[in-house]
Amino acid sequence: MSCGAESILTSSCVLFSLAKHYSCTHAFLDFYCSSVPGTSRTQSKEEILKTGVWRCPVCTYDNEDSFSACDICGVLRNHLVKDNSKRNASADPFDAVGGTCKDSGASKMAWSLFASLPKQTPINSVLFEAQENVSPPKIIFPSRGNGNTRTDFLELNRAFSSQNFHKVTLEPFKFDSPSPDDLVSNGLRTPKLYSKDKHTGIKEKGLASGNGNKLVTSDDTANIVSLPSKSGNTKTISDLKATSIPQYKLEKWMIPDNVEDGLNQLNLAIVGHVDSGKSTLSGRLLHLLGRIITEEMHKYEMEAKQQGKRSFAFAWALDESVEERERGITMTVGVAFFNSRRYRVVLLDSPGHRDFVPNMISGASQADAAILVVDASIGSFEAGVDAIGGQTREHTQLIRSFGVDQIIVAVNKMDVVHYSKERFDVVKQKLGTVLRSCGFKDSSISWIPVSAMENQNLLNPSDVMLSWFQGNTLLDAIDSLQLPARDYSKPPLMPICEVVKSQSQGQVSVCGKLESGAIRPGLKVLIMPSRETATIRSLERDSQVSNIVRAGDNVIVNLQGVEGNHLITGGVMCHPDFPVPVANHLELKIVVLDISTPILIGSQLEIHIHHAKEAARVVKLSSLLDPKTGKATKKLPRCLLAKQNAVVEVVVQESICVEEYSKCRALGRVSLRMSGRTIALGVVTRIINSEESKVK
Ligand SMILES: Nc1nc2c(ncn2[C@@H]2O[C@H](COP(=O)(O)OP(=O)(O)OP(=O)(O)O)[C@@H](O)[C@H]2O)c(=O)[nH]1
């Protein structure tokens, strides 16, 4: 496929659009209020008060009227809610922590959460309508000019986010006891992933995981709601309700009898903290394996040298854009191909900088396995595994939540620590704890000391520098990975990672990992959520024209018969008889990570599902779960804290292609982010149809 200058990578700026979601608080609340029947922005004060109780503005707990501070979190009762005139008008509610409310009965966790807050004038509260259950709150906005100073949740969250919770001792993330995979389905795990070629000229970001596929049932179709407006198509798709559920007919060509070139495709994500050496390692591997010819490498060296960034020469093979090179960081997922002895490897080089985690999610969620690159240098390694802000830890949690259970840890920059076995052992011991807590089994982790810069232990054993190390080289470790099962027998389904429009040729292409089934030129496909049909004109895999591509392959699908504006990143290409659901109200089973700000009803989030990312709002905290059994231990909790497992409901701002995890893993895995951090991981357990939403 031509991917030249005339091509428009329509999704290349997707992360920047996220800012839009976060800056539109009121617009979002308008959306929210209009989407939740009975929710109004102009409730009277009386409406929101329930006789005999007052609701804590922070944790939403309904306290008895006689309490002067919240029984759960210790925050003083807001003077607007109750006459607090007995108190000094200038009293600081956060003295609740300092002493005034020490006898309020605040829980230990609440104390730890609030104890570190500096004394300050409280942020004015959000009040909720007292309700029988904790369904979507009614948010009361400042009625500007009338003295009502109540504000919204975002401000509240900001107030807490801006505090330093350094005294909070949070338990380490423990993902898999059981993991979302295990919570939802017992046993079978199918990995996923996808990527694209960079070295050959195509650059992209990817994502998606799981390999399931869905057969539409009458229940499924009931969940289909209106199309997202950004697709340019606002028609509803309730007419997708199938009068009869078709059977998917398998044909002989769909099932591979043997792999044509003897090699299977392995999608391998390179993840890790910023500057750990991911791009350098990837570039070095490509060069050693002959995918970057000497002349090309020489060109990178010269250019990098001219810009005073000589050490980035190998990284430049992956980091192609001017901005990436100027800043010396990866911003989008670089994709490259090479062959190992066993695999046709699709390398997905992820950005490590925290600002680009959404891109990392998009790319790495398609991984069958991952290389976690860590910088062995003193201080750098420690920063990466830090619970707050360390991308070694965050990437590990994310990659595990995508269903990846095999990981190679490349302990890089061993040259900086003089190839010290002691340092390697320290890294192994500390990071091993993190990996195990994320659910990786020791037997699925390979520890490989390397130096990308000095080419040690990549293709050949490092007999001198790493003479103490008897294990695999990096390439051997890659060949030791197991290929996940592929689902060829289901209808084709491909989350769209990227849309490429060629203006000059009037051609439109979609890129992604085919999660299930098989496709070939001439086949009709359905594009969701626009519900346009198109015909496959041609296919590319590993930057080669291909006659058939099958589940697990990262592909470029050139389409005809469809307008480019009907295709969006985060959409799905599927079989016309098996449309995927499009929905905006979801029930999720989640594991909360190391957060310092509790998740509340009304919390605004960014939701990531395959390549879709949207603003979302928590509308119900249904239950807390026992992490071991998955059984509900508490109904309707007031808030969610670090490490808790829970069932929640969210409303997504614009409907997305989504499926219950038990029916389709690729469309059912969820990451929730807030304020630039991943705060929870999980799966979709239920799509709540519009009728059900209305009742709520
Ligand atoms: N000494 C030493 N430096 C290295 C090694 N590998 C990478 N570096 C340097 O580390 C810096 C960052 O390298 P990159 O490859 O850009 O790191 P990255 O992890 O891809 O960075 P992001 O994608 O932006 O997170 C560069 O200056 C590299 O030259 C190594 O093995 N030894």
> Lowest-confidence range among 159-168, 540-549, 680-689?
159-168
- CA-324 nearest atom, ligand 1: 24
Q: Which residues line ligand 1 (CB under 6 A)?
A: 272, 274-280, 311-312, 315, 329-330, 351-353, 412-413, 415-416, 451-453
Sign of dihedral through CA atoms 431, 435, 437, 443? negative
Which pairing describes strands 507-513 and 604-609: parallel, antiparallel, or unpaired?
Answer: unpaired
CA-CA distance, 349 to 286, in Å (whole number)? Answer: 12
**Alpha carbon of 358 to ligand 1 centroid (Å):** 21
Ligand 1 atom 9 nearest Cα: 277
> Where is pLDDT greater, at 339 or 64?
339
- Residue entry with tokens 């609701």: 55
Please give the distance, rounded to the nearest whole angstrom, from the Cα atom of residue 114 to the centre of ligand 1: 39
What's the pTM value of the predicted model, to 2 decimals? 0.65
Question: What spacing in Å lies between the alpha carbon of 71 and ligand 1's midpoint?
Answer: 50
Is the pLDDT at 371 greater than 70? The verdict is yes
Residue nearest to atom 32 of ligand 1 (CA): 413
Distance 261 CA to ligand 1 centre (A): 34
Question: Ligand 1, closest atom to CA 451?
Answer: 31
Q: Comparing 136 with 65, which gets the higher pLDDT?
A: 65
Distance 610 CA to ligand 1 centre (A): 28
Distances from the Cα of 244 to the Cαs of 107, 247, 523, 651, in angstroms? 55, 9, 22, 30
- Residue 100 is assigned to a structural domain of this protein: no
The verdict on 309 and 393 lying in the same domain is yes
Report pLDDT for 150: 29
Distance from residue 278's CA to the centre of ligand 1 (Å): 6
Ligand 1 atom with minimal separation from the 280 CA: 15
What distance, in Å, lies between the first and last C-alpha atoms of the chain?
48
Distance CA 2, CA 509 (A): 10
Instruction: Pick the more confident residue, 492 or 463.
Output: 492
Question: Which atom, in ligand 1's list, is nearest to the CA of 456?
Answer: 31
Among the ranges given (297-306, 307-316, 366-375, 490-499), the one the predictor scored with the smallest mean pLDDT: 307-316
Taking only the tens place, the pLDDT of each residue in 216-271 is 222 333 333 333 333 333 333 333 443 455 688 888 888 887 655 568 889 999 99
Residues 609, 568, single domain; the answer is: no
Instruction: Output the residue whose Cα is nearest ligand 1's atom 8.
Output: 277
Does a structural domain hold residue 543? yes
Quote the pLDDT of residue 355. 75
Residue 535 in any domain: the answer is: yes
- Check pLDDT > 90 for residue 377: yes
Interior/surface letters 11-31, b for 16+ CB within 10 angstroms, e for the rest: bbebbeebeebeeebeebbeb
Q: Ligand 1 pocket: which of 270, 280, 450 to mutate (most atoms <8 Å of CB)?
A: 280
CA distances from 329 to 337, 360, 382 (A): 21, 13, 20
| Whether residue 683 has pLDDT greater than 60 | yes
Atom of ligand 1 nearest to the CA of 314: 15
The protein residue with its alpha carbon nearest to ligand 1, atom 24, reads 329
* Distance, CA of 638 to CA of 134 (rounded, Å): 8
523 and 451, same domain (yes or no): no
533 and 459 housed in the same domain: no
**Domain check: are 514 and 609 in the same one?**
no
Q: Do 565 and 679 reside in the same domain of the chain?
A: no
In this structure, the answer to whether residues 411 and 292 fall within a common structural domain is yes
Residue in 275, 284, 353, 412 to alter for ligand 1 test, most ligand atoms within 8 A of Cβ: 275
Encoded tokens for 591:
């594991």
Query: Could you give the ipTM of this predicted complex?
Result: 0.99
**Is the residue at 27 inside a domain?**
no
Taking the centre of ligand 1 as the mean of its atom positions, its distance from the CA of residue 378, in whole angstroms, is 15
Distance between CA atoms of 279 and 281, rounded to whole angstroms? 5
pLDDT band, residue 59 (cuts 50/70/90): low
**In this structure, are residues 285 and 474 in contact, taking their beta carbons and an 8 Å threshold?**
yes
- The CB density around residue 421, as the number of other CB atoms within 10 Å, is 14
In a domain, 260, yes or no: no
Mean pLDDT of 365-394: 88
Q: Bridge partners of 607?
A: 614, 672
* Ligand 1: residue whose CA is nearest its atom 21: 275
Tell me what the mean pLDDT of segment 339-368 comes to.
84
Domain boundary among 449, 480, 511: 480
Tokens describing residue 4: 């030249």
Mean pLDDT of 180-188: 34
Contact 656, 612 (CB under 8 A): yes
Instruction: List the single range of 117-121, 247-251, 541-545 with lowest mean pLDDT.
Output: 117-121
* pLDDT above 90 as % of the chain: 40
Q: Which atom of ligand 1 is nearest to the CA of 309?
A: 27
CATH number of the domain that residue 547 is part of = 2.40.30.10
Give the closest residue (by CA) to ligand 1 atom 27: 311
Contacts 24+ apart (CB under 8 A), 518-521: 518/253, 518/254, 518/255, 518/488, 518/492, 518/548, 518/549, 518/550, 518/551, 519/492, 519/548, 519/549, 519/557, 520/253, 520/547, 520/548, 520/549, 521/547
Report the nearest atom of ligand 1 relative to the CA of 373: 19
Q: Among 508, 543, 574, which residue terminates a domain?
A: 574
Q: Which residues pair with 54 in a beta bridge?
A: 63
198-212, 226-240, 437-451: segment of lowest average pLDDT: 198-212
Could you tell me the CATH number of the domain that includes residue 297?
A: 3.40.50.300
Mean pLDDT score, 13-34: 28
Whether residue 347 is found in the same domain as residue 459:
yes
Higher pLDDT, 560 or 214: 560
Q: Which two tokens stand for residue 524?
A: 């009709």
Between the CA of 415 and the centroid of ligand 1 the distance, in Å, is 12
Most confident among 8-12, 39-43, 54-58, 210-214 (mean pLDDT): 54-58
Average pLDDT, the chain: 70
Nearest atom within ligand 1 for CA of residue 272: 19
Site to probe by mutation for ligand 1, drawn from 300, 311, 350, 454 as the one with most ligand atoms within 8 Å of Cβ, is 311
Evaluate if residue 197 carries a pLDDT over 50: no
Q: Work out which ligand 1 atom sits closest to the CA atom of 412.
A: 31
The pLDDT score that the predictor gives to residue 541 is 87
Per-residue pLDDT at 470: 93
Do 400 and 515 belong to one domain? no
**Residue 664, CA distances (Å) to 24, 512, 543 in order:** 32, 16, 28
Q: Please give the share of the chain, as a percent, with pLDDT higher than 70.
A: 60
pLDDT at 456 over 90: yes
pLDDT at 72: 53
In ligand 1, the atom with minimum distance to the C-alpha of 454 is 31
Q: Same structural domain for residues 352 and 442? A: yes
Distance CA 70, CA 598 (A): 15
Among the candidates 574, 609, 643, a domain finishes at 574
Domain shared by 521 and 650, yes or no: no
Question: Does residue 557 sit in the same domain as residue 616?
Answer: no
> Average of pLDDT values for 25-30?
28
Going from the Cα of 275 to the center of ligand 1, the distance in angstroms, rounded, reads 5
- What are 586-644's pLDDT values in tens digits? 999 999 988 889 999 999 999 999 999 999 999 999 999 998 888 999 999 999 999 89
Cα(451) to centroid(ligand 1), Å:
10
665 domain residue, yes or no: yes
- pLDDT value at residue 295: 78
Protein residue with its CA nearest to atom 11 in ligand 1: 275
> What is the distance in A from the centroid of ligand 1 to the CA of 522?
44
Six-digit token string for 7: 């091509």
Domains in the chain: how many in total?
3
Specify the ligand 1 atom closest to the Cα of 351. 23
Residue 441 Cα to ligand 1 middle (Å): 28
| Least confident segment among 161-170, 373-382, 561-570 | 161-170
pLDDT higher than threshold 80 for residue 439: yes
364 CA from centroid of ligand 1 (Å): 19
Residue 498 within a domain: yes
- Residue 110's pLDDT band, with cuts at 50, 70 and 90, is very low
Q: When comparing pLDDT for 102 and 310, which is higher? A: 310
On whether residue 52 sits in a domain, the answer given is no
> pLDDT tens, 79-108?
333 333 333 333 332 233 232 233 222 223
Q: How far is the CA of 476 from the centre of ligand 1 (A)?
A: 22
Q: How confident is the model at residue 179 (pLDDT cuts 50, 70, 90)?
A: very low
Structural domain span for residue 625: 582-694
CA of 372 to the centre of ligand 1 (A): 13
Looking at residue 361, its pLDDT comes to 83
Where is pLDDT greater, at 328 or 364? 364
CA of 280 to the centre of ligand 1 (A): 5
pLDDT at residue 187 in the model: 26
